[in-house]
């Protein structure tokens, strides 16, 4: 197809590089430098989508991020993306796009029936219709979900890489139009670290569509010179295709860099997109302004476009979207469009809502032979899938109605301008306060909150000369505030100065008919909200703008109402007969334009989603077929199946081997803290519930740590290594928390205590040898012959050489068996583990994992903090009164024991449970009741904390927290099942199921 | 058997081969001697004692490194340092510190095996690290001779800039080291 | 994300820190002398002001030091940072 609307010359496209692409199955061609929107317009394709609710035919409205209509499904397969804005899609060879929200085709869309039925689906339709009966909500929801949304999400995994980047800078400049470029130049020349980001592929902003001269040069040439200067500054980072998306606390900003979105696919290892997190000392916002549509009847017809966008298509892309053009405006800016289009060969007429506008640009339009109908309004738009003409009438005296005869004009393009809204999104996100500017009839920045400056159009400076000056001053000032003195403010480039006539705010253009009759005045194009909808909501009593927004869905599309919010607010203000600022503003939430989940995730996927912590023996575990369990970030061996062994069988085997012979466990993950200093024992007296001062050197003691509320917080064995030195162990998951807890008390409460704490968790690899033959295995690996119970009693530590490595060996036991926990420097962990394994072969040594560890300890009734406790459990609840030294004086949590709640008699207490059916293993977390009923509610008196099959008991065992549990020993209770089966009958027992006297561990 | 002979030593990254040239190189500096030292930076006796034992006093300025020959003392906190020696030097350093600081309230803990050290160097080393490190690594803010404890790709690291190319030594807990190495190698792919 | 000026390390990103609740709550010297109500007040009750809040932060991924921060809970502006043991400064939101 030929590019019928392409001008013969001009534009910033590369005519030497034709690019072919497909839209809705048809092939077209454009040029490198085109966007999908400009290329479609070049091919005279205006109809590009169907609207959300009424399925009205829609065309390209804008030339930028604010586009509410031309949202397409871009690419296919795994790379497909919905709701992509055609004016922001750079054209590349082989691009495939499809229109959305139509069936069976864009030309013939069944859903368009909604337009005919629009009286039946007013604003709030869903709220009004789908409320009752509540039982049907599930059905309604399915219907609504089917009707909702525009495009389709991909169903295959994303094949592309995404990445992140942290950055710091002195000055971040958001936007590289005339103001932003001047700011970047001014700041850059001071030597400050500057990042200048612009969402477009080419920097220059409005200058790329502008005519005229800057410093005697065409604007684009001035832009090129500025960019060359910036590129030569080593501390300046220039980021095109980068949207500053969010502005957060303390000048933290996020940016989305579309590294490879303009390519058919990213080169290998190149991220498709990069998500920047920037901390800027100073920020200059130069984000421009967004043109407002005029709210006239059927203003949504394909071929009705924003005037600035039309100018951009003509000048920047050399595309004339129509040959016979009506420019409809309430301000001077659209006259530039009219003049440029006329210059490009279009027939142009201007319909101006203002009465007798005056000024240089109006004279210039007249001189170009353009007919100007002042004090006129468009009262009808003809054509459905493309505008074919309009009707105009004179405005009446009040300006709120029309009068006189109707004149029809044929046209194929309407270029409208309702004024400009400064793009205050980032400013507002930074907590800056807005004020309403009556001259612009728009919100502009008022008081900054953050270290930020707005410049150019986003501040309300609509003249080029002002923009350049704003930028230069703000850039230099920002650098200065960041600590860089610019030698001097750069000379402000010379441009032809112009003055603009006043604009005339007309929020709803009268059509001579009752609002809502004869056509629709669209406010929010993306969500199909009309002026009539706002009137209805007002009549129904919606006062707050936030309610109105949600009720009508104004501004709630993916465009966040960039073209609609201020107009909606103004209409509401008119209805309430209040000034616009009194009605309020809507909240501008980040991101400015949508950010992909891929970019947010970056490389935090797969193995990089969360670090995997590995012990020194990890490779051995892998080589021996271990299944792993995640414990915090640690990968711990869970069990070691042999052949096709099930987990149940493997655990049974591991338990029995450990009980009858010897087993070995990688216990390296337990937290270890070296505690030194003359006040160490005194400190431990405060931290633990029991007393430490009299613990002999070389002895170990179990300790419980409480929070100040008296609840168990962590536990572990601590050993006195020397008079003033202890080695504390913590739970695996509690290691960092406990070190932080110790530091908290030392730094914030008792700075006078002479104690230093150092984490040594990772210094040591820990091999726990458990079982009747543990001493035999250890004996085979050390020359130390004093391993007997007299020389090396239970709960002591000895230093010795084990398998050629310096070791601390602790005689402590978490299984109830004779046990030695061998600690060697991590580097030797693998070799010593292997040596233990070899030495244990003749005893059938069995490596076991965390599951077996759990069974072994549960058989002994040893608790696991966090499993058998949940932050509401005292030592007394656990039956560990013996570890609370009430006489030693104060310790953390002690006072809380006397609180009425903590000393209540009906507290939950740790007990054992034995099921009537020995094979039934209870579900951990299951509730316990005294009396069963056919269905809930039943009074719940406790819950199961641990439940396993115990191989030595030959039956199931469980630990539970039960109200007044110890009084209930011998009682029968019930555990209802989630699956609705018969409740399980249990008997309450002591929480120890094996070797109650504890002789085995002491042997 | 193993009773009398010295046990074999393994570093966690022995099996890792990383990018080895332009623009990024990764190597493991395995088993560097490391002593975690706590003491009172305001006490001259402490500073002098450390200087006697290590050849240089611990740096008092935050996030800096003092070096003497092959020994480096990295600032970790206002009363905490990491004394780094060549591999195998930790035993001698621990005893000479213990001797020199006898009678003082200090903490001298051998943490040689707790962390390993990844050296990352090359013209894109900074960009490789900066992707997921909250620290400002710009040479104006962080240069050779400086160190900092911070986060890198969700792991705690002690980062020491050792050269202007740039080159960094990343001290990371051994359990995290394979994850971090793999992350760095993946991060550097973009620049290859 | 805040930028927090660690009293030792200088400005660092919030990800390196943890907030640890209200500052200037001293542990009672003699807990037994307190009524249940007074003790509960120490253990559980905290202010939740709109405006200036004095709170403790720890540079847990950096130098591991605890310090105090005065923060405006309305704007998240950090008004003062001072070391443990130092007096609560006079600040205005």
Which pLDDT tens digit goes with each residue over A533-592?
Answer: 999 999 999 988 888 888 999 998 889 999 999 999 999 999 999 999 999 887 789 999
pLDDT at residue A112 in the model: 77
Distance CA A800, CA A790 (A): 17
Partners of C3 on chain A (C-beta within 8 Å) are 250-252, 279
User: DSSP class of residue C29?
Assistant: S
Q: Is pLDDT at A125 greater than 70 in this prediction?
A: no
What are the pLDDT digits (tens) for A44-79? 999 999 988 888 999 999 999 999 999 999 999 999
Half-sphere exposure of A364 (CA within 13 A, CB side): 17
* Residue A362 CB contacts under 8 Å (≥ 6 apart), including other chains: A332, A335, A372, A501
> How many of the other CB atoms lie within 10 Å of CB of B16?
16
Residue A533 to residues A241, A522, A583, A685, Cα–Cα distance (Å):
37, 9, 18, 71
> How many of the other CB atoms lie within 10 Å of CB of A938?
17
Q: Is pLDDT at A140 greater than 70 in this prediction?
A: no
Is the distance from CB of B180 to CB of B172 less than 8 angstroms? Answer: yes
Q: Where are the domains of chain A?
A: 162-289+422-481
Q: Please check whether residue B189 touches A, CB under 8 A.
A: yes
Residue A126 pLDDT class (50, 70, 90 cuts): low
Would the CB atoms of C64 and B77 count as touching at under 8 Å?
yes
Is the distance from CB of A279 to CB of B134 less than 8 angstroms? Answer: no
What are the pLDDT digits (tens) for C27-36? 999 999 999 9
Domains and CATH numbers, chain B: 20-30+114-191 (3.30.1360.120), 33-110 (3.30.70.1520)
Farthest-apart Cα atoms in chain A, separation:
117
Partners of B132 on chain A (C-beta within 8 Å) are 164, 166, 602-603
Is the distance from CB of A755 to CB of A677 less than 8 angstroms? Answer: yes
Q: Which chains sit next to B, with 3 or more Cβ pairs under 8 A?
A: A, C
Find, in chain B, the residue whose alpha carbon is nearest to that of C63.
Answer: B77
Beta-carbon pairs below 8 A across chains A and C: 55
Would the CB atoms of A762 and B179 count as touching at under 8 Å?
no
**Residue B160 in tokens:** 């020491």
Q: Is pLDDT at A146 greater than 70 in this prediction?
A: no
**Residue B74 in tokens:** 């990295």
What are the pLDDT digits (tens) for A464-493? 999 999 999 999 999 999 999 877 778 999
pLDDT at residue C69 in the model: 98
Pairing of strands A764-770, A522-524: unpaired
Q: Please check whether residue A832 touches B, CB under 8 A.
A: yes
Kindly report the nearest CA distance between residue C31 and chain A, in angstroms: 6
Classify domain A162-289+422-481 at the CATH superfamily level: FAD/NAD(P)-binding domain (3.50.50.60)
What are the pLDDT digits (tens) for B47-98? 999 999 999 999 999 999 999 999 999 999 999 999 999 999 999 999 999 9
What are the pLDDT digits (tens) for A298-350? 999 999 999 999 999 999 999 999 999 999 999 999 999 999 999 999 999 99
Q: What is the mean pLDDT of chain A?
A: 94
Q: Is pLDDT at A730 greater than 90 in this prediction?
A: yes
Distance CA A12, CA A235 (A): 29
A521 forms beta bridges with A297
The CATH code for residues C3-83 is 3.30.2270.10
Residue A1 pLDDT class (50, 70, 90 cuts): very low
| Long-range contacts, stretch A941-945, CB < 8 angstroms, 24+ apart | A941/A973, A942/A908, A944/A913, A944/A975, A945/A867, A945/A868, A945/A869, A945/A910
Is the distance from CB of A395 to CB of A415 less than 8 angstroms? Answer: no
Would the CB atoms of B156 and C15 count as touching at under 8 Å?
no
- Whole-prediction pTM: 0.95
∠B124-B126-B128 over CA atoms, to 5°?
Answer: 70
Pairing of strands A671-676, A908-915: unpaired
pLDDT at residue A123 in the model: 72
Host H or E run for residue C70: strand C66-72
Buried b (16+ CB within 10 A) or exposed e, A785-795: eebeeeebeeb
Q: Is pLDDT at A352 greater than 70 in this prediction?
A: yes
- pLDDT (average), residues A797-812: 97
Is the distance from CB of B123 to CB of A690 less than 8 angstroms? Answer: no
* Residue A830 CB contacts under 8 Å (≥ 6 apart), including other chains: A616, A617, A619, A620, A765, B8, B10
Residue A955 C-alpha from the chain's centroid: 48
Q: Please check whether residue A429 touches C, CB under 8 A.
A: no
Q: Is pLDDT at A629 greater than 90 in this prediction?
A: yes
Pairing of strands A194-197, A162-174: parallel
Closest Cβ–Cβ partner in B78, B80, B156 for C61: B156
Distance CA A910, CA A961 (A): 5
pLDDT at residue B4 in the model: 61
**Residue B169 in tokens:** 């030594």
Distance CA B153, CA B157 (A): 9
Is the distance from CB of A175 to CB of A198 less than 8 angstroms? Answer: yes
pLDDT at residue C35 in the model: 97
Q: Is pLDDT at C24 greater than 80 in this prediction?
A: yes
A280 forms beta bridges with A169
> How many of the other CB atoms lie within 10 Å of CB of A274?
24
DSSP letters, B134-172, are -S---TTTS-TTBEEEEEETTEEEEEEEEETTTEEEEEE
Instruction: Tell me the CA end-to-end span of chain C in Å, nearest whole number.
Output: 19
* Residue C30 CB contacts under 8 Å (≥ 6 apart), including other chains: none
Q: What is the mean pLDDT of chain B?
A: 96
Q: Please check whether residue B135 touches C, CB under 8 A.
A: yes
The B residues from 18 to 37 touching A (CB cutoff 8 Å) are: 31, 36
Percent of chain A with pLDDT over 70: 97
Distance CA A295, CA A302 (A): 15
Partners of C85 on chain B (C-beta within 8 Å) are none
What are the pLDDT digits (tens) for A959-994? 999 999 999 999 999 999 988 789 999 999 999 999
pLDDT at residue B1 in the model: 45
ipTM of the complex: 0.98
Closest Cβ–Cβ partner in A166, A676, A830 for B10: A830
Is the distance from CB of B131 to CB of A165 less than 8 angstroms? Answer: yes
B155 forms beta bridges with B152
Pairing of strands A162-174, A273-285: parallel
User: DSSP class of residue C90?
Assistant: P
Closest Cβ–Cβ partner in A610, A754, A804 for B4: A804
A274 forms beta bridges with A163, A257
Beta-carbon pairs below 8 A across chains A and B: 149
What are the pLDDT digits (tens) for A72-109? 999 999 999 999 999 999 999 999 999 988 777 888 87
Q: Is A737 exposed, middle or buried (0-12, 13-18, 19+ CB in 10 A)?
A: middle
Residue B33 to residues A359, A749, A829, B114, B117, Cα–Cα distance (Å):
80, 34, 17, 10, 11
């Amino acid at each position: 197809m030929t590019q019928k609307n392409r001008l013969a010359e001009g534009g910033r496209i590369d005519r030497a590089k034709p690019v072919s692409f497909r839209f809705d199955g048809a092939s077209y061609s454009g040029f490198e430098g085109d966007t999908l929107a400009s290329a479609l317009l070049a091919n005279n394709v205006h109809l590009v989508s169907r609207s959300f609710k009424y399925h009205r035919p829609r065309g390209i409205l804008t030339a930028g991020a604010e586009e509410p209509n031309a949202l397409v499904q871009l690419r296919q397969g795994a790379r497909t993306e919905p709701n992509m804005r055609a004016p922001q899609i750079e054209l590349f060879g082989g691009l495939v796009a499809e229109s959305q929200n139509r069936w069976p085709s864009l030309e013939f869309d069944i859903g368009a029936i909604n337009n005919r039925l629009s009286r039946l689906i007013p604003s709030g339709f869903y709220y009004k219709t789908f409320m009752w009966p509540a039982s049907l909500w599930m059905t309604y929801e399915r219907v609504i979900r089917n009707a909702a949304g525009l495009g389709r999400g991909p169903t295959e995994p994303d094949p592309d890489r995404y990445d992140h980047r942290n950055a710091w800078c002195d000055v971040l400049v958001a936007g590289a139009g005339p103001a932003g470029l001047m700011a970047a130049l001014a700041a850059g020349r001071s030597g400050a670290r500057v990042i200048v980001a612009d969402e477009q592929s080419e920097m220059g902003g409005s200058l790329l569509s502008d005519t005229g001269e800057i410093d005697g040069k065409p604007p684009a040439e001035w832009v090129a010179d500025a960019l060359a200067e910036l590129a030569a500054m080593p501390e300046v980072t220039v980021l095109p295709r980068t949207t500053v998306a969010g502005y957060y606390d303390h000048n933290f900003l996020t940016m989305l860099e579309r590294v490879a979105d303009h390519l058919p696919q990213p080169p290998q290892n190149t991220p498709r997109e990069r998500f920047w997190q920037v901390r800027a000392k100073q920020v200059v916002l130069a984000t421009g302004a967004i043109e407002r549509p005029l709210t006239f009847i059927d203003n949504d017809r394909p071929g009705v476009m924003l005037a600035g966008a039309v100018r951009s298509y003509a000048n920047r892309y050399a595309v004339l979207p129509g040959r016979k053009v009506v420019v409809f405006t309430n301000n001077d800016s659209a006259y530039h469009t009219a003049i440029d289009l006329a210059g490009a060969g279009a027939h142009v007429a201007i319909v101006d809502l203002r009465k007798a506008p005056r000024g240089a640009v109006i004279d210039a339009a007249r001189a170009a032979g353009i007919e100007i109908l002042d004090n006129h309004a468009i009262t009808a738009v003809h054509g459905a899938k493309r505008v074919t003409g309009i009707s105009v009438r004179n405005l009446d005296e009040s300006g709120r109605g029309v009068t006189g005869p109707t004149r029809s004009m044929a046209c194929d393009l309407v270029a409208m301008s309702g004024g400009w809204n400064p793009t205050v999104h980032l400013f507002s996100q930074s907590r800056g306060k807005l004020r309403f500017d009556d001259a612009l009839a728009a919100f502009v920045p008022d008081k900054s909150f953050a270290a930020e400056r707005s410049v150019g159009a986003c501040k309300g400076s609509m003249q080029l000369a002002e923009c350049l000056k704003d930028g230069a001053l703000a850039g230099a000032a920002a650098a200065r505030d960041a600590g860089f003195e610019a030698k001097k403010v750069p000379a402000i480039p010379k441009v032809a100065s112009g003055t603009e006539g006043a604009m005339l705010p007309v929020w709803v253009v009268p059509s001579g008919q009752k609002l809502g009759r004869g056509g629709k005045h669209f406010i929010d194009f993306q969500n199909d909200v009309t002026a009539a909808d706002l009137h209805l909501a007002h009549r129904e009593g919606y006062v707050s703008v936030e309610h109105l927004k949600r009720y009508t869905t104004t501004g709630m599309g993916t465009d966040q109402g960039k073209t609609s919010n201020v107009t909606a607010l103004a209409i509401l203000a008119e209805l309430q007969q209040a000034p616009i600022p009194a009605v309020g503003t809507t909240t501008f939430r980040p991101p400015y334009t949508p950010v992909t989940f891929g970019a947010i995730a970056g490389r935090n996927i797969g193995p990089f989603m969360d670090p995997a912590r590995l012990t020194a023996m990890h490779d051995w575990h892998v080589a021996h077929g271990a299944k792993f369990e995640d414990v915090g970030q640690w990968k711990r061996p869970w069990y070691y199946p042999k052949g096709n062994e099930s987990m149940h069988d493997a655990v049974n085997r591991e338990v029995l081997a450990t009980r009858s012979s010897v087993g070995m466990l990688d216990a390296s993950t337990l937290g270890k803290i070296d505690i030194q200093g003359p006040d160490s024992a005194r400190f431990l007296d405060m931290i633990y519930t029991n007393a430490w001062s009299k613990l002999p050197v070389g002895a170990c003691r179990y300790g419980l740590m409480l929070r100040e509320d008296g609840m168990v917080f962590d536990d572990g064995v601590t050993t006195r290594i020397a008079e003033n030195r202890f080695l504390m162990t913590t739970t695996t998951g509690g290691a960092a928390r406990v070190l932080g807890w110790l530091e908290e008390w030392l730094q914030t409460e008792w700075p006078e205590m002479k104690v230093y704490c150092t984490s040594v968790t990772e210094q040591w690899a820990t091999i726990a040898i458990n079982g009747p033959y543990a001493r035999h295995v250890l004996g085979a690996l050390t020359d130390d012959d004093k391993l007997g119970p007299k020389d090396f009693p239970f709960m002591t530590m000895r230093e010795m050489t084990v398998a050629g490595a310096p070791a601390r060996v602790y005689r402590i036991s978490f299984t109830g068996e004779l046990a030695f926990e061998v600690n060697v420097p991590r580097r030797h962990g693998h070799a010593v583990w292997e040596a233990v394994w070899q030495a244990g072969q003749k005893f059938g040594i069995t490596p076991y994992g965390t599951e077996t560890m759990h069974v072994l300890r549960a058989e002994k009734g040893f608790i696991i903090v966090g499993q058998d406790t949940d932050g509401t459990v005292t030592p007394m609840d656990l039956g560990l009164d013996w570890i609370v030294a009430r006489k030693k004086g104060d310790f953390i949590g002690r006072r809380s024991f006397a609180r009425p709640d903590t000393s209540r008699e009906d507290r939950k207490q740790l007990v054992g449970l034995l099921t009537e059916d020995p094979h039934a293993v209870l579900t951990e977390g299951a509730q316990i009741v005294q009396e069963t009923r056919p269905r809930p509610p039943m009074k719940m008196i406790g819950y199961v904390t641990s439940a396993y099959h115990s191989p030595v008991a030959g039956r199931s065992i469980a630990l539970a927290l039960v109200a007044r549990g110890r009084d209930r020993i011998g009682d029968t209770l019930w555990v209802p099942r989630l699956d609705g089966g018969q409740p399980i009958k249990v008997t309450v027992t002591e929480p120890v199921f094996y070797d109650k006297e504890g002789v085995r561990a002491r042997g | 058997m193993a009773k009398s002979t010295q046990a074999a030593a393994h570093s966690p990254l022995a099996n890792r081969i990383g990018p080895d040239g332009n623009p990024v190189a990764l190597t493991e500096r395995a088993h560097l001697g490391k002593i975690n030292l706590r003491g009172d930076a305001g006490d001259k006796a402490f500073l002098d004692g450390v200087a006697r034992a290590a050849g240089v006093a611990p740096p008092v300025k935050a996030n800096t490194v003092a070096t003497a020959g092959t020994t480096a003392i990295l600032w970790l906190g206002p009363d905490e340092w990491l004394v780094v020696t060549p591999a195998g030097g930790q035993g001698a350093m621990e005893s000479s510190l213990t001797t020199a600081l006898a009678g003082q309230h200090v903490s001298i803990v051998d943490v040689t095996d707790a962390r390993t050290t990844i050296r990352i160097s090359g013209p894109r080393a900074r960009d490789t690290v900066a992707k997921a490190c909250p620290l400002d690594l710009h040479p104006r803010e962080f240069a050779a001779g400086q160190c900092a404890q911070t986060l890198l790709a969700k792991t705690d690291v002690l980062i020491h800039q050792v050269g202007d190319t740039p080159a960094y030594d990343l001290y990371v807990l051994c359990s995290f080291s394979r994850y971090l190495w793999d992350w760095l190698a993946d991060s550097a792919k973009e620049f290859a | 994300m805040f930028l927090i000026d660690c009293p030792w390390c200088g400005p660092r990103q919030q990800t390196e820190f943890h907030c640890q609740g209200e500052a200037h709550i001293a542990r009672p010297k003699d807990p037994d002398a307190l009524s249940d109500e007074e003790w509960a007040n120490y253990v559980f009750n905290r202010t939740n002001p709109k405006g200036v809040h004095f709170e403790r932060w720890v540079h847990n991924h950096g130098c591991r030091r605890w310090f105090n921060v005065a923060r405006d809970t309305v704007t998240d502006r950090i008004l003062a940072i001072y070391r443990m043991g130092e007096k609560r400064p006079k600040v205005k939101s």
